[in-house]
Structures are given as structure tokens and as C-alpha cells.
Structure 1
Amino acid sequence: MSAVTLTPRALYEEVAELLRQRIFRRELEPGSWIDEMKLAQEYGISRTPLREAIKVLAAEGLVTMKVRRGAYVTEVSERDLSEVYHLLSLLESDAAGVVAQRATDAQLKELQSLHDKLEKAVDDREKFFEINERFHMKLLAIADNRWRDQMVADLRKVMKLNRHNSLLKAGRVEESLAEHRAVVAALMARNASLAMQRMQEHFANGLEAAA
């Protein structure tokens, strides 16, 4: 039996990531039609891997398939946002409680270091977004529940469709930073119930700003 050579990453996965980033950067606007022929020509590929990539994004909620009309970048409704933030609040507040109880001192220092970087990035929106996400992902990694991690990853992709709107509101970056400060303080005090409460408040305020 001959050996099968596998590529490190399937073509459709690479295309999915390219499209994902274009959606997050608003190069493909919410509600816009995805022109398969144009994109296939742009990337120099057939429409088969492109369609597979679109299926991946549809499964993540970033793309909506419409019968006989094709694929569109998902438009996030107020209900969508409310449901996503509600679930993220439950999942990430639970993770915060776990971290407060179980994290090593070294792991807590990692979170403190990321928060310190966040404090310094308050005037750089893109950097603030990036470090903020790293903080939340590190918190989840320390809590160490792969099922929760997968659910949060998918929900955060949908949340990103609206993230610029939420943090562009006047004063929201500063408010978000203050909320992070309160979460970190509770984690450092190893107060699980307070860490959970502060994380829930963070998401509640985030939803209010995003709506």
C-alpha cells in the first residue's frame, strides 16, 4: 500500500482563514453577498475549495446561506448579540472562578502581565483588541476545559462581527479596562465568587455598549 502524503493544512482551511480575517476587518461587510466567482479568480483556485471554506464559516456563524441566493456575511441582530454575550458570560465567568481557585502563582502572573500590556494599549484600538483577546484566551487556557474552549472560540467569532461597534462607543475602552482591572484584582485575591461576578459584569456592560 503506497504512502499518502498529507499537506500541513488543507487548501479550503487556508481560504477559510483568509475570508475570516477579511470579515473581521470589515473588507466583507455584514449583509454583503459573497461573490464566489470573483473570489475564486482572486485566489487563483477552483470554486470547490472556496465552497468548502464557506461551509466552514457558515458552521461558525460568520456566513449565512440563503436558498437560491448564495452566501452572505452574517448580520448580527440584537437578539444574536444578547444570546452570544449571555453564553460567553456563563462560560467565561465559570472559567474565572476555576482560575481563582486553581491557578498557580506563575499563571496568575501571566494574566497580570497581559493586563499590564492592556493598560498601555488604551490609545491603540487594534492593539487593545488583540491583547484583550489574548487575556481572555489565556484565562480559558489556564481553566483547561477543551469543550468550553471550543464553545467560546465559536461564540467569540460571532462577537467579532460587532466588536468595532461596541468599543468605538465613547468611553467604552476605558470602562472595559476598568472592568478587566476588577477581574484581575479578584483573581489575584483568589476570590472565586467575586471573580465570577466581575466577569459577568464585564460581559453585561459589553452587551450594553454593543447593542
Structure 2
Amino acid sequence: MARRLLIWGALALVVLVPLGLAAGSPLLAWREPVYIVAGFAGVLGMVLLLVQPLLAGGLLPGLEGLRGRRAHGFVGLGLVVAVVVHVAGLWVTSPPDVVDALLLRSPTPFSVWGVIAMWAIFTAAVLALGRQKLGLRPRVWRFGHTGLALVVVAGSVVHALLIDGTMESMSKIALSALALLATLKVVGGLWMFLLRRRERA
């Protein structure tokens, strides 16, 4: 019981601190509501990137096994929505910048990394939703989905770290590091398991 409370308490702290510090950012002063919503959608997306591998790996007490995988799917949908809101809000505030980013001709490197992560998120969602229709073998699907997850997290982390925006610097670095470590732990463990099972087959 104590371990469960400790894990959930730590996760709540990691989630709420970046959101709270972003809410108090002086960069939000005089900003339009649509810009603020777009910015917070991006912050929420970073938070969900930490939660996703924890759910996929069954590392959260009470959400192991099938229950955790179902939650992983719902959180994945939330991540897609957060990205859409983030990009749509930026489109409303500055359409030319979004067009340049989508065409990979933006002069700001963080835009390129953000677009790479965005398309990887959408592709991973399509793989998840169309798993049976695509007729992929389970092993191929897992490698594809987890490989895309690595691209999503790496691209998002670089995208966030290069931006001097709403998120407070230290909490952003900590959240990014935790999301990356959690993803590497879960993906690495899964790949090792699949490779060992293949060797035994």
C-alpha cells in the first residue's frame, strides 16, 4: 500500500509541477487565449508522454496487464488530441509559421523536431487503431509501434528543450528526462523479450 501511494504521489508531483509552473509563466501575459490553450496542450502532451510508457509497461499500481493497456490506448488518444489542439492553436495565431514547419522549411530547428514527432504520433495511432485491418504479425506490429514511440519521445523532447516558451526550464528538463528514461526502459525491455523469444523458437 505504501509503495502504491509513493508511486502515484511521485507521478502526481511530476505531472502537476510542470503544469503549475507553466500556468504562472510571465510569458503568458497579454497573450491571446488561443495561444495559451495551444501552449498548454503542448505541456499536457509532454506529461502524457511520461504516462504512456508507464502504462504500456504495467508500471503503475492498479493499472497492470489488460487494464493498463486499455488506459494506454485512451491516453494515446488524448495525446493525439493534445497535438491537434497544439498545432491548430498555433495555426490560428500564425498560419505562415505553421505552414513553414509542416513543409520542413522553418528556420527554427525546434519546429522540424516537432513536426517529426507529430507525424510519428499520428502514424503510431493509425497502427494502433488499424492493427487487425493491416494484418501485421504481432511481432512486426510491436517493433513498429515501439519504434515510432521512440521517435515521438525523442522528437518531442528535443522540440521542447529547444523552445524558450511557457514551460519552466528545470521542470521541463526533468519531465523530458523522465519521459525518455521511462520509454527506453519499457521499449528496451520489450525488444529484449521479443528477441529472446525469437531465439528460443
Normalised by the length of structure 1, the TM-score is 0.27
